[in-house]
Amino acid sequence: MNKNQLTLVRDSFELLRPLPKGFGLSFYERLFELDPSLRPLFRGHLENQASMFVTALGFIVADMSEAGSFSRAINELGARHHSLEISDATYTRFGEALLWTLEQRLGEHFTPDVREAWAAAYSTLAEALKRSVEAARRSEEERAHAMP
């Protein structure tokens, strides 16, 4: 991810701010269209989940660096999700739903360059989350083996 892509992601995310909950709801509607089997992972009111998603996305966008690194908080987010056993296909579906929702919400502002920037950002994030999940699994296994 380069500096220009980072700027495109941040600037385009700012365009979503007036209707963040609507963005989150559209994202989950699309995600469940793509893969209905994911619905049970999200308990409770979808509106609450949508708000949390947009809040987390805003934090991620603000935290992202050109080098593709994230703060410890993002790594901890991935570690907290390790019990869900998210597959590579699920990460793919999340990315597809995210790009589709961005395209729907940003309209003419979702240029090919903006799409490429968001795809790069999501790919970087997904890889960071996968590494965090794997690290959490290894740590859990080490603790289990260390117990008498």
Per-residue pLDDT in tens (0 to 9) along the chain, 148 residues? 789 999 999 999 999 877 667 899 999 999 999 999 998 888 778 888 898 888 888 888 888 876 665 666 676 776 666 666 777 888 899 999 999 999 999 999 999 999 999 999 999 888 888 888 787 777 777 777 776 6
Domain ranges within the chain, ordered by starting residue: 3-146
Amino acid found at 116: E
Report how far residue 13's alpha carbon sits from residue 7's, in angstroms, rounded to the nearest whole number: 10
The pLDDT of residue 55 is 86
- Half-sphere exposure in the Cβ direction for 97 (13 Å, CA): 22
Q: In angstroms, rounded to a whole number, what is the distance separating the alpha carbons of residues 73 and 77? A: 6
Tell me the CATH class for 3-146: mainly alpha
Phi/psi region, residue 109 (left: phi>0; alpha: psi -120 to 50; beta: rest), is alpha
Residue-level pLDDT at 139: 74
* Predicted local confidence at residue 68, as pLDDT: 60
Question: What is the pLDDT, as a whole number, of residue 28?
Answer: 94
pLDDT for 60: 85
